[in-house]
Structure 1
Amino acid sequence: MDLWACPAVVTGAASGLGAETARYLTEAGARVTVIDIDADGVRKVGEEIGAHAIHCDVADSLSAEKALTTARETHGAARVLVHCVGRGHFEPIVGVDGPMPLEDFRQLVEVNLISTFNMMRLAAADMARLPPMANGERGIILSTASVSAYEGQSGEAAYSASKGGVVSMILPAARELGPLGIRVVGIAPGLFGTQTLFDMEKNLDSRLARQIPFPHRFGDPAEFAMLVLHVIKNVMINGSVLRLDGGYHR
């Protein structure tokens, strides 16, 4: 897909993976809308990169519908959706104070999984109404999972479940939306230097980086953004979840 003047939406764009992805998309010539629940953060990113910024809770149906309507009125219906919303949370099932509050689990599923499906369904509906490009493609939806979906650690049961749901959606969604010319792809980052990692790993130090086969460091959000651009341009990538982790298996 040619990104020049292509309408694109990036969620979770106030910082981290989303902000860097939005930056790379604008540099590639896309007309980008950045969305985040952090109103000040997303506004700052929008101003820095020349993107249209919208404050929105993407797990909320009406809020997300309104945001995409605004994006569509500004830049046209998006052919690219990159969903980077995610919340990291380390909490044991049974702690010193008793069982994990059910509401904590519910919130992780709401933020990480329900928001992913919500944006997927709304963006796909817009893309399905677009005229196909020369190769028959109408759009692409990229969702952010996590290596914890496969190899969650002690204290990550809730987080792993929410990201595992994202992984499980990718292939059936690609099969369903493929006849419409819409690709669906997931990216499962490993240890990246973002606030989500810092929130989950309380005593963060170089011990984690040393466990990565190569390179021996945390991932840079720019490396996530570079993969996003490659996936968008390579029409044969579809229905898969791509690990981006330096060979890291916990």
Structure 2
Amino acid sequence: MRIQDRTFIISGGSSGLGLATAQDLYSQGAYIALLDMNTDAGEDAVTQLGKERARFFEVDVSDTDSIASAVEGAVKWVKDTGMELGGVISAAGVGNPGKIVDRNNEPLPISAIDFVLNINLRGTLDLVRQCVPHMTQVKPLGPDGERGVIVLVSSSAAFDGQPGQVAYAASKGAVASLTLPLARDLAQYGIRVVTIAPSLFESGMSAMMSDKVRKSLERVMEFPRRAGRGEEFAKLVRQGVENVMLNGVVVRLDGAMRMPSRL
């Protein structure tokens, strides 16, 4: 699918992998609707990208009404510019590690589980379901009649999560699992679904890691033995947008890393 002169909605778009994706798609001529909680970071990202083709919309992806308001604003902007909606990239996410039972034999609070699931899983599905009715109205383009693409973000933790990642792995595993049925739901409309499952990448989440944890994770990577970079993630997003044969698939982006049970 062509990127130039199409609008892409990116949640978690003002930092980390979301911002790297916004920068890459913008460089290809896209219009970018940045959705995020941090207003200051969002406005800074718009200034950095360029106000002609970027807008910020404040959103809490765990709140349905907040998503509705942001999507409404983005769609109105699309109508104002005439640059049709081309895709949705759901990059908002949280980690919040915690074992299912702690050293005092206390269970992981359900509030901690809900926090992760509400953002990583519920927020992803809620954003998608609210954007899809607008995507189905886009005029089909190209010989295949494609309307758009949805790019989701899973994690290597979906496949080999470590101790303390029960809630996180559950949320990201669910994102991986819903990829194919979502692609099948949307096939009749010419809308594709691609999920990327990164390992250790430079992001706001990884920035919270201690040096000890980071170095331990880097040691179990095969090649390259370092954290991934935002631009490397963004390149795969771009390929997911442009390559029409990528659909209903989960692509690991992990330098052959398989996370061990213990570091």
Q: 1:201 to 1:239 in 2, by over 3 A?
A: farther
Pick aligned residue for 1:149 from 153, 158, 179: 158
TM value normalised by structure 2: 0.91
Q: CA deviation at 1:201?
A: 5.9
Distance 1:4 1:221 in 2: 21
Summarize the alignment of residues 33-182 of structure 1 with structure 2, pairs less than 5 Å apart: 33-50=33-50, 51-76=54-79, 77-97=84-104, 98-134=106-142, 135-182=144-191
Q: CA deviation at 1:75?
A: 2.5
Secondary structure in structure 1 of the residue aligned to 2:150: strand
2:28 match: 28
Two-structure CA RMSD over aligned residues (Å): 1.3
Q: Is 2:154–2:195's contact at 8 Å kept on the other side of the alignment?
A: yes
Percent identical: 35
- Count of residues in correspondence between the two structures: 250
Secondary structure in structure 2 of the residue aligned to 1:94: coil
1:191 counterpart letter in structure 2 = L
1:204 counterpart letter in structure 2 = V
Distance 1:37 1:205 in 2: 26
Q: 1:162 to 1:199 in 2, by over 3 A?
A: farther
TM value normalised by structure 1: 0.96
Deviates more, 1:96-105 or 1:25-34: 96-105
Q: CA deviation at 1:62?
A: 1.4
Deviant stretches of 4+, over 4 Å: none
- Per-residue CA deviations over 1:43-101 (Å, capped at 9, x if unaligned) read 11111112201111122211111111111111245221111011011111111341111
Q: 1:130 to 1:28 in 2, by over 3 A?
A: same
Distance 1:207 1:58 in 2: 32
Q: Is 1:90–1:200's contact at 8 Å kept on the other side of the alignment?
A: no
Unaligned 5+ runs, structure 2:
none
Q: Is 1:137–1:181's contact at 8 Å kept on the other side of the alignment?
A: yes
**2:13 aligned with 1:13:** yes
